[in-house]
Amino acid sequence: MIRDISLALAQMGDPRFQRVVWRGVGLAVLLLAALSGGLLWLLQWLLPDDVALPWIGDVTWLDDLAGWTLVPVLLVLSVVLMVPVASAMTSLFLDEVAEAVEDRHYPGLPRVRPQGWGEALRESLGAFGVVLLANAVALIAYLVLAPFAPLIFIALNGFLLGREYFQVAALRREGAEGARRMLRANRGRIWLAGCLMAIPLFVPILNLIVPPLGAAAFTHLYHRLKRR
């Protein structure tokens, strides 16, 4: 797997890899900006224009105060959510990464059906939801077993990421049933490879390249397992 990751890292300068990363980041910024603007508008719409308070009289600035108070909260939340949301958006385009890897390292393969936008969106949101839900449930374990929290995080996300990225590579050429069959036959190897992909999630900025790096590395892993 180290060789697979090394080959993926060597191709990170590929324009198709970079387009995937920047598209994911750009979509994340637009989504978070739209959500922040929507929340501000909703708050100002829900609050009345003026409120009569005892001994004070009419107060007409509550909606402005609430809006300005919400701004720093939204900025902090945007920073916290930027990486997971960008990763989710980047996952929409991982099929392009697998194609770029195959074009360079496995020429001559028959063409595959390109993944449709709706299919990519459904799979990306589904995988993102599973990761969020699993880590929310595991939060109890993180708190109760705090000294082992990093290992639990790596083990859990290694399983989830390994499954997701292997399917990105295998589904293109094996179909759903074939991909599941290969996943079952190589579960331990795929989990360990996923654990290696989970380690960079601890590093800010570097974690933004985990989706394309993982998709590329697991494309190499898929072809290596296929030759066995």
Tens of pLDDT along the chain (228 residues)?
A: 788 888 888 888 888 888 877 877 777 777 777 776 776 666 666 655 554 445 444 545 445 555 555 555 555 554 445 556 666 666 677 788 888 888 888 888 887 766 665 666 666 666 667 777 777 777 788 788 888 888 888 888 888 888 888 888 888 888 778 888 898 889 999 999 989 988 887 776 677 778 888 888 999 999 988 887
Q: Is the pTM of this model over 0.75?
A: no
Give the total residue count for the chain. 228
Helices 94-105 and 210-227: crossing angle in degrees, nearest 10, is 50
How many helices (DSSP H) and strands (DSSP E) are in the chain? Answer: 8, 2
- Cα distance between residue 84 and residue 21, in whole Å: 13
Cβ-Cβ contacts under 8 Å for 75 (sequence gap 6 or more): none
Q: Are 212 and 18 in contact (CB under 8 A)?
A: no
CB-neighbour burial class of residue 107 (10 A; exposed 0-12, middle 13-18, buried 19+) = exposed
Q: What are the extents of the domains in the chain?
A: 2-227
HEC sequence for 205-227: CHHHHHHHHHHHHHHHHHHHHHH
